[in-house]
Amino acid sequence: MSRFFVPMIRRLTRLSLRGVLFLLATPLPAQDAAIAPVDAARVRSQEMIDRVVANQKKNEHALDVYERVEKVEVRKTGSDAQPLSVKISRVIPAGTGMGKISVGPDGKAVDEAAYRTELGKILKNLAWAAEEGRAQREAYEKVAKKRRDRDELIDATRRAFLYTFVGEERRGEVLLSKYRMEPNPAFKPASRVEAVFTRVRGWVWVEESSQQLARVEGNVTEDISVGLFLGRIYKGSHFMQERYEIAPGLWLPTFSQYDFDGRKLFSSFAVHERTFYSNYRLIGPPKEALVTLRAELGKPASTAADP
């Protein structure tokens, strides 16, 4: 399989997941006026839905200023009890990208010298990103374009799905409202990514008192063609994500799972990943992050990996 294919699949499916996370923005289309029996459930609390969407956008933006630890487990199949590989990284926003440093299960350095070297590289990237110049402006324009692309995907999701309130479920001590999501038959996708929405069904759970998205889960209901790569994602592929309150009013991912199988030309492929997110910490934009990380790098080697 081409070394470019799996990253493309991951990007495609993750973009689709981002879009699904915003599906609660979906309005009830005029074409559905004939199905009156479910209208009341679908528009149960439009004002609340709008606040959920606004909060979700803030949550997504916060990922640009919060560092975290990500533990990625790769499996041969989604049902395997033990992963084939486990990679744990400290992920640090660096202005126009993300820096990653390998760490141990406790989130600390395994090799302190290598850790400090990688941290130094991220510092250089942050110092560059904090400057003002033509190169920086061009880099931030690319970042802004990605954000616009994401916004367009969110807008497409408003038309791509219908939602219906189906009841309440408990997650620990918290009561969540559950919504069924279904493709809108009137939706006309304008891109490969948008076309994924027409083949996905699932559920979302909302914590209504805070108007926050707590969980999303979906299944691929029909094979999905993957453009120029002449590939296909098979029916039955699955994704889900859990979100919890990390700071007051801020809900960020704590767990994601992707189970996608398919083929490229005559070769099969599989993406079975589970990612655990922890150790969130506000690090701020580049100028603020620089101060924090320079102080950390100035610590003795035995403590530098313990922010």
SS3 162: strand
Alpha carbon 228 to chain centroid distance? 25
C-alpha torsion 3→4→5→7, nearest 10: 100
CB atoms within 10 A of CB 188: 11
How many helices (H) and strands (E) would you count in the chain? 7, 12
- pLDDT value, residue 226: 67
Q: What H or E segment, with its residue span, contains residue 126?
A: helix 112-130
User: What is the separation, in whole angstroms, between the first and last Cα of the chain?
Assistant: 40
Alpha-carbon distances, residue 72 vs 87, 147, 261, 279 (angstroms): 5, 25, 18, 14
- pLDDT value, residue 77: 85
Who's near 57: CB < 8 A, 6+ residues apart? 22, 154
- pLDDT value, residue 28: 34
Q: Which residues of 54-77 are buried (b: 16+ CB within 10 A; e: fewer)?
A: ebbbebbebbeebbbbbbebbbee
Q: Are 129 and 99 in contact (CB under 8 A)?
A: no
Q: Are 249 and 55 in contact (CB under 8 A)?
A: yes
Alpha carbon 156 to chain centroid distance? 17
| Cα separation, 164 vs 32, whole angstroms | 13
Residue extents of the structural domains in the chain = 5-297
- pLDDT value, residue 61: 85
- pLDDT value, residue 5: 36
| Cα separation, 291 vs 156, whole angstroms | 39
- pLDDT value, residue 268: 83
User: pLDDT tens per residue, the chain (307 residues)?
Assistant: 333 334 444 554 444 444 444 433 333 333 333 333 445 555 554 566 667 777 877 888 899 999 999 999 999 888 888 999 999 999 999 989 999 999 999 888 999 999 999 999 999 999 999 999 999 999 999 988 887 887 777 667 667 778 788 899 999 999 999 988 888 899 888 887 788 888 889 898 999 999 998 998 989 888 877 665 567 888 888 999 999 999 999 999 999 999 988 887 778 888 899 999 999 999 999 999 999 999 998 866 544 445 5
Tell me how many degrees the CA angle 228-98-71 measures, rounded to the nearest 5: 90
